Structure 1
Amino acid sequence: MRTYTVEGFVLGMRALGEADRILTIFSRERGKQSVVAKGVRKTHSKFGGRLDFFNRSRITLHVGRSLDVITGAASVKEVWARLVEPQAYLLVSYAAELVDALCEPDMPVPHLYGMLCELQTIVGAGAGQSALMPAVDLRLLETLGLAPELDACATCGARLGNRPLSRGLAAVSPNAGGLVCQVCMGSRSVGDERPASDGAFMVKSSMLARLRALRALSFAEAVRDGAGTLNDLRPLTHAFIQYHLGRRSKAVSSAMGTQ
């Protein structure tokens, strides 16, 4: 089949020659792909704004030697007017960067595509805000099979329930994959909130309870839960994202104010 059609999001782009671009798209049918959009940088491009960042389009492609080439695009949903808002742009840039970084090419992940559709709906409704990043983190990790263990010790499997280790604190280790019980913490003082050499750190048990609750919420429900609650969870969820990325992403650095 020399020509095929997918429904997908534009996650990123870079210039190619004087008038073309290489786009990173994520589609329901094929997952992440790098494709060529010829002439898209021209003032009167036939694609118009249909291939702008985070637009969702029906994209027709011709199979190329190395990269497939876009021959047509029809808009499904556009949110470009909302992306002039800094909070909305930061949120979708963050989500797009993580999907690009954590997904292998040419591997469909339907639930992740559904997450992007849900996020686009929130942004289109004017509710997109960077406070939603922890909800994006959890949904993305869960969809990719990387969700942190929040109900038992990630090392030995002991059920922990809602019990803190000590002084209202619980131990979390991205390296281990989630919560760590007092036995597996070994000689480390459970009252010590400083990060350990293995990446483990202490969080308030109340924060852990809120993180558990967030797992069951849609993005719309998370927005109603309040920005203050979500913002408090950022350092915790970002620690797991950073571990799986093997680095701190530009979007995370910007969100944490460390650039």
Structure 2
Amino acid sequence: MKSYNLEAFVLRMRPLGEADRIVTLFSRERGKGHAVAKGVRKPHSKFGARLDFFSRVQLSLHTGRSLDVITAAQTVTSSWESVIDPERFGAASYVGEIVDALCEPDLAVEDLYDTVCQFQQGLCDKQADPELLIAAFDLRLLQALGLTPELDACARCGTGLGNRPLAGGRAVLSAHAGGLLCRTCSLQLTESERYADERSGVFSVKAAEFKALRALREAILGDAASLTSAAAGCSASSLHRATRPFIEYQLGRRSKSLTVAGNQQHALRAPKAG
């Protein structure tokens, strides 16, 4: 039985039988993959907490017929203390969900692995806004997968934005078109295109938010000060609202993690009875 070592993130785990789990991993060398952690659900498992959700771990594995088997695990960096916070847990769950959904099995995406490492670093920085982290991560993930939204020219006709001011002080964006729409192309949209569901339809952002999105592409994901500087006073929620349609267009659905996190935050903010 062939053995090998691998550094990877734990994206998710699901039960297998009474004592085991199937672990979804994301590594630099192999991309997304799955492996079995035998006995991990037992009270005195040899793995202990080393296979925690969204931890970066150094693994030893044996090659199996259908699934490889994890034989040893050591923590490289852990997100445990960070994901106790509901907002940060929601952000980590979102990244795990999106990487799992959009990455093909056994296809290495080295830039994306580096991005996930930087995201974890930012997640552990209490100064970093989780929603701003997500917005920046969205842009980096799309770039790593060759799906970068066009923010420098019209995604339809190719007309460059240059230094011209945006019409009406707003930028028109379309997830379906792949980014910015110039005034001419936005006016030529059909009714079905203009009023499609929000994942593929047309939306607009303020000029300041559009400028911040462009700056966010170059910000250092693991540096709270760099992200804050790129946001330039725009709210994290407004920037995330601008990146989310591009992700959900690729997913073909709403993010389950963000839906759950939103419901939890609503419950926490709701006034208590009595």
Q: Return the TM-score normalized by structure 1.
A: 0.90
The letter of the residue matching 1:240 is F
CA-to-partner distance for each residue in 1:164-203, whole Å, 9 max, x for gaps? 55321221110010011122223469xxxx9533611222
Q: Return the TM-score normalized by structure 2.
A: 0.86
**Aligned-partner Cα distance in 2 for 1:58–1:143:** 23
Aligned to 1:134: 135
- CA contact under 8 A between 1:8 and 1:28: conserved in structure 2? yes
Aligned to 2:248: 242
Deviation at 1:128, TM superposition (A): 5.1
**Aligned-partner Cα distance in 1 for 2:205–2:49:** 45
- CA contact under 8 A between 1:91 and 1:129: conserved in structure 2? no
**Aligned-partner Cα distance in 2 for 1:199–1:224:** 30
CA-to-partner distance for each residue in 1:42-81, whole Å, 9 max, x for gaps? 1110111111101111111111111111111122112212
CA-to-partner distance for each residue in 1:2-43, whole Å, 9 max, x for gaps? 111110010001000000000100011111001110000011
**Aligned-partner Cα distance in 1 for 2:48–2:139:** 34
The letter of the residue matching 1:68 is D
Aligned to 2:195: 196
Aligned to 1:160: 161
The letter of the residue matching 2:195 is A
- Please say if 1:51 is aligned against 2:36: no
Aligned to 1:229: 235
Deviation at 1:137, TM superposition (A): 0.7
When residues 18 and 256 of structure 1 are mapped into structure 2, their CA distance, relative to the original with a 3 A threshold, is closer
**Aligned-partner Cα distance in 1 for 2:263–2:111:** 31
**Aligned-partner Cα distance in 1 for 2:228–2:90:** 16
- Please say if 1:8 is aligned against 2:14: no
**Aligned-partner Cα distance in 2 for 1:157–1:76:** 45
Answer with 125-134 or 45-54: which moved more: 125-134
When residues 200 and 35 of structure 1 are mapped into structure 2, their CA distance, relative to the original with a 3 A threshold, is same
When residues 228 and 202 of structure 1 are mapped into structure 2, their CA distance, relative to the original with a 3 A threshold, is closer
- CA contact under 8 A between 2:212 and 2:230: conserved in structure 1? no
Question: Could you tell me the percent identity over the aligned residues?
Answer: 49
Aligned to 2:259: 253
**Aligned-partner Cα distance in 1 for 2:45–2:234:** 43
- CA contact under 8 A between 2:209 and 2:234: conserved in structure 1? no
RMSD: 2.3
Q: Which structure 2 residues correspond to residues 181-220 of structure 1 after superposition, within 5 A?
A: 181-187=182-188, 196-197=195-196, 199-219=201-221, 220=223
Q: Which structure 2 residues correspond to residues 95-114 of structure 1 after superposition, within 5 A?
A: 95-114=95-114
- CA contact under 8 A between 1:211 and 1:233: conserved in structure 2? yes
- CA contact under 8 A between 2:123 and 2:130: conserved in structure 1? no
Where 2:168 maps in the other structure, the secondary structure is: coil
